[in-house]
Amino acid sequence: MASRQKLSGIQKQVLALYRGFLRTARLKAPEERRRIESVVSAEFRDSARNVDRKNFVYIEYLLRRGRRQLEQLKNPDITGLATLEVNK
């Protein structure tokens, strides 16, 4: 049986934020829930691919931004997430 490598504190924070978004999505309408889950999944995957794992300052910035977005999404008056795509 292979043992898993322990997660760092920042990795645990990222996973907790991801789970928080998924839990909050469950409180929204079914079609909006799927859209939120899709947007969140895409954002996290994109960051996992494109952000240098050693760039802690930027990762911490993304965590703070994500927490603010999550708090806004928890508001019952907010129905979903909006995304902004910037051409690079």
pLDDT in tens, 29-83: 999 999 999 999 999 999 999 999 999 999 999 999 999 999 999 998 887 776 6
Q: What does the pLDDT read at residue 59?
A: 95
Tell which wins on pLDDT, 18 or 5.
18
Cα dihedral 74, 25, 41, 47, rounded to 10, equals 10
Distance CA 76, CA 23 (A): 14
Closest Cα to residue 83, out of 39, 42, 47, 45?
39
Residue 24 confidence class, pLDDT cut points 50, 70, 90: very high
Q: What does the pLDDT read at residue 84?
A: 54
State phi, psi for 80 to the nearest 5 degrees: -170, -175
Residue 4 confidence class, pLDDT cut points 50, 70, 90: confident
Q: Is the pLDDT of residue 23 over 80?
A: yes
